[in-house]
Amino acid sequence: MNAQTQITEVTSPGETREMSYAEAIRDAMTIALDRDPTVILMGEDIGTYGGAFQVTLDLIDKYGPERIMDTPISELGGAGVAVGAALTGLKPIFEFQFSDFAALAMEQIVNQAAKLRYMLGGEAAVPVVFRMPAGSGTGAAAQHSQSFEAWFGHVPGLKVVQPSTPEDAKGLLLAALADPDPVIVFEHKLLYKMKGQVPTGYYTTPIGKAAIRRTGDAVTIVASAIMVHRALEAATKLAAEGIEVEVIDLRSVRPIDRDTIIASVKKTGKLLCVYEGVRTLGVGAEISALIAESEAFDYLDAPIQRLGGAEAPIPYNPDLERAAVPQVADIETVARRLAKGEV
């Protein structure tokens, strides 16, 4: 049996309309800017230019430069201003042109935003949202194509999400803005043009809740971002062979939805973790440990499998770039072997 489920909290239900992933993010920001005068946008070239991926297109015309603020080419400085603004009661959304550039702002994200509530005894909140275009597939090479969700997921005090659909891109961003703590939203660059039905109006997608995108009883695949769609494509091909794969969209790296993953693995007895980040010390390692330390371990019929990125920088050459991260055929092969007991 095949099915798709979506768990979304709609606080103001309305009709749906087709939007691209990028349009859904812009819609979320427009709603937030209209509803809350403390929401501001910051980032390099997000004003007149509309952002590196045109997500903030035209927002400066509506809200002006006092709320849509172009920052200098200094990720450390810009992120620091965003953290400071959050401490004063504003709700900044800071856009990095590429998630790779967040390496320049690690001090502000990891040592300041993530820790200030703790260090000030809970007397202050840091409601800042960092938007990070991430992932490979655009030919942007080693310094513009990385997946750092495991980096930031390692840090207490941060929440980390990876929407895979236009509906979740909007809902998770609005949830991030409603959160009193810093939230990092990783947006896979290949998804910006993907279209889907998105509820109009305000709603939130719960942070920390996974979604079962396809049900099955042969193998559990846990994936996020672009890998969800590749896993679903692989699952469709395997279904033609009588192998029904369950695909879980992680959606949230920190916190992780333990209950949904454990329940699925107890049902299927087999787990494949698929993620774009480098395989070693990646998100799949945490999920593997989660199952190994839970009651689901006794239900396993085969060793847990991880399918992650290559132990190398992302190449510029398109063929090598594809080879560096899991593709549909890779997922299909490993899932088939798992289902047939060949691992």
| Segment 182-198, tens digit of pLDDT | 999 999 999 999 999 99
Predicted confidence at residue 43, as pLDDT, reads 97
Helices then strands, counting H and E runs in the chain, come out as 12, 14
Q: Which residues are catalytic?
A: 75, 144
Tell me the helix, strand and coil percentages in the chain, rounded to 5: 40, 20, 40
| Phi, psi for 265 (deg, rounded to 5) | -65, -35
Rg of the chain on CA atoms, in Å: 20
The three-class DSSP label of residue 176 is helix
Report the DSSP pairing between strands 129-134 and 91-95. Answer: parallel
The three-class DSSP label of residue 93 is strand
Cis peptide before 313 (omega within 30 of 0): no
Distance of alpha carbon 146 from alpha carbon 102, whole angstroms: 11
Predicted confidence at residue 13, as pLDDT, reads 52
pLDDT along the chain (343 residues), means of 10: 39 79 98 97 94 94 96 96 97 97 97 96 96 96 96 97 98 98 98 97 97 98 98 98 98 98 98 97 97 98 97 96 97 97 92
Name the burial class of residue 75, with classes exposed (0-12), middle (13-18) and buried (19+) by CB atoms within 10 angstroms of its CB. Answer: buried
Predicted confidence at residue 71, as pLDDT, reads 95
The length of the chain is 343
Q: Provide the token pair at 77.
A: 């400085």
pTM for this entry: 0.94
Domains and their CATH numbers in the chain:
16-199 (3.40.50.970), 211-339 (3.40.50.920)
Amino acid 140 reads A
CB contact at 8 A, 307 and 335: no
Distance of alpha carbon 249 from alpha carbon 333, whole angstroms: 20
CB contact at 8 A, 131 and 93: yes
Distance of alpha carbon 143 from alpha carbon 101, whole angstroms: 8
State what percent of residues in the chain have pLDDT above 70: 96
Helix 283-292 to helix 258-268 angle (10° resolution) is 70
DSSP 215-258: --SSEEEEE-THHHHHHHHHHHHHHTTT--EEEEE--EEES--H
State what percent of residues in the chain have pLDDT above 90: 96
